[in-house]
Structure 1
Amino acid sequence: MSTAPSAAPAAATPLIPSLPDDVAVNIIARVPRSHHPTLSLVSKAFHSLLSSPLLFSARRLLGCTEPSLYLALRHPSSPSHLWFTLYSNANPNPAAPKQHRLFPIAPIPSPSVGSTFAALGPLIYVLGGSVNDVASPCVWVLDCRFHRWKPGPAMRVGREFAASGVVGEKVYVLGGCTVDSWSRANHWAEVLDPGARTWAAVPSSSVEVREKWMHASAVVDERIYAMADRGGIVYDVDKEVWESVESELDMGWRGRACVIDGVLYCYDYLGKIRGFDVKEGVWKELKGVEKGLPKFLCGATMGNLSGNLVVVWEGKGGGKEMEVWCAEIAVKKDEHGELVGCICWSDSILKVSNGSSIVSCLAVAL
């Protein structure tokens, strides 16, 4: 059986009386994060442990990490994106439904527009964006364990509205830059090695899509898909080969998407959630969710929350407010190969001023 790290925060008294602190950490690390606010009230030692790297290391070693959803919003009165994390309270009554709410976290220190995002482990990378109407090479990293921002290694060129993807513990970024010089053209695609904190160019052929801004991206089977307004490109990381996106996928992919079990899900202009089965090369409507969701989902954004499809959208609030809604959907293929969904829960999770919009949602393991 896996064991927790052998050191615990120094304390005047044991974390749990009559137990060594190593054993106490092993026990506490198994408690679901929804109970952590209550646990932090037990003692100062508990409060310190629950916000320490030791606990997160123990949870990872024990296989007790849980998916957590993070959301970025654009607000009309703020130059920086507003960041939130989704919290589901633990109700002592098993028959009572959980309540889901978004809680704010510190905004990014340097605001930008048109950034792209990537999640790797407990970290969220905010890549580039426009600062004072100039594409920026800056990278900011949100450590979701402690909700702290830190600067990351800058890219070789400035980018806005780029595509990104994580493959093999590395962060790839494609496009979002003008190729008006040899240097920029050579770095149209780059890869970040987080351990070495260095960027390296990814050789790419001269293709028409390099002159366009990216509107969406996804990773399927270690292949990074980058979509422009029309047309797209695929980079096979393992083979180091570039290909054009097949027309069937190009014609059906609209807006922000996510991938679950090799199926790319997105929300189309007809008000349907559809999935593209990459192996079969066809789009299929997600069935079973028609009665549980509104007919049209404004600003729909999607994420993969531990194998479940999370859909976040903008709803109508009262007066000058907009409601942010979220639904978690268990998805699968039935015996006929059709895509079927079952809504686990759906709830209004935040009210914000009109004129706000959803930028992105990402899931991390904590």
Structure 2
Amino acid sequence: MCTTTTTTTTTTEAPEEILIPSLPNDVALQCLARVPRQYHSVLSAVSKPIRSLLSSPDFFADRSALNCTEHLLYLRIRTQDVQRHAVVGPKIYLLSDESGRKYTTEVWIFDCRFHKWERGPNMPTALKHTVGTVVLDGKIYVFGSLTSEGSWKDMFDTVAGRWEALSSPELTVYDKLVRGCGIRGGKVCVWVEGEELRFDPVTKTWEVFSLVLPEFSHKCEVNAVLCCCDDDIRTLKGFDERVGGGGGGFWKEIDLVNGGFSNDFSVVETVNVGGRLVILNSFLHDLSRYS
């Protein structure tokens, strides 16, 4: 007689880790999601479950649903390599331009939620001396230093995850020096010598306007006013096209809350943060005077 013994193995799932004692995890998650980002480093030291939660996709999804997401200001330390960046949502796109005296097309993406890097689709062409980037409706516009009939601009759709062709404006004179780019009135603007080129992403058409900007300035639109910060003459001016005779706009010098720039202040970037103009110094020391 043959006897057969059957062994059954059962797998027991590990119990869910408790976030906050005496509270269900779904309630605890709602509480923790409301804590401002500046205190997350303190929360991560409370327990391992909370530390794991702070870097999980579910946590950031709940913060977004509760409208608790925050804008954070990141400072990038300059290196010998020339690189341009763009910010879309929680991700920073690093567009390589010049590395070791060689022009590259590499794209790297940094996810601020999880502090991780990943490779992105390469740029179609290696733009020489990229002037800047503009972000509008989830699309990144990249511009080279000289206008031309060929390729001096590219556009990356972050939702579709691919580069797309961008039409060229019709100019009477090409090979003009590009002095900057930005957003004005929901359109992508490129500033060249004596002109402003506006691209409408809806109609995919360009318009050309006459506009003389300070030759060396950092530009940023805040509340429909184009702010230009000039290092050489140490002034801040604003251009509002809604006022002025004939609707042609009006330049006005803007007063700073601290009375002006000090002699050791060298502007490296101007940023619109929540409707406020933030001016960054090229040195990291004693920045508190300009906040």
> Aligned in 2, Cα 1:252/1:162: closer, same or farther, shift over 3 Å?
closer
What is the TM-score of this pair, normalised by structure 2?
0.81
- Please name the residue that 1:49 is paired with: 53
1:251 aligned to which of 207, 213, 216 = 213
- Please name the residue that 2:110 is paired with: 142
Q: Distance in 1 between matches of 2:147 and 2:196?
A: 17
> Aligned in 2, Cα 1:242/1:214: closer, same or farther, shift over 3 Å?
same
Q: Does 1:222 align with 2:190?
A: no
Shift of 1:34: 1.3
Q: Does 1:273 align with 2:241?
A: no
Shift of 1:290: 4.6
Shift of 1:282: 1.8
Q: Distance in 2 between matches of 1:138 and 1:279?
A: 40
Contact 2:130 2:142 in 1 (8 A): no
Shift of 1:239: 2.8
2:134 aligned to which of 134, 144, 165 = 165
> Aligned in 2, Cα 1:65/1:296: closer, same or farther, shift over 3 Å?
same
Q: Which has the greater radius of gyration?
A: 2
**Over the residues paired in the alignment, what is the CA RMSD in angstroms?**
2.7
Contact 1:256 1:302 in 2 (8 A): yes
CA deviation map 1:92-140 (0-9, x unaligned): xxxxxxxxxxxxxxxxxxxx31x32221111111223112333222212
Alignment of 1:1-366 (within 5 A): 12-75=16-79, 79=80, 112-113=81-82, 115-159=83-127, 160-176=129-145, 185=150, 187-207=151-171, 211-212=175-176, 214-228=178-192, 231-247=195-211, 250-252=212-214, 254-268=216-230, 269-280=232-243, 281-291=249-259, 293-294=261-262, 297-314=265-282, 323=285, 325=287, 346=291
Which structure has greater strand proportion? 1
The amino acid across from 2:242 in the alignment is K
> Aligned in 2, Cα 1:209/1:165: closer, same or farther, shift over 3 Å?
farther
Tell me the SS of whatever aligns to 1:26.
helix
Contact 1:135 1:158 in 2 (8 A): yes
How many residue pairs align between the two structures?
271
- Please name the residue that 2:9 is paired with: none
CA deviation map 1:231-290 (0-9, x unaligned): 44221222322123432xx33364322222112222123212222224332222222525
What is the TM-score of this pair, normalised by structure 1?
0.66
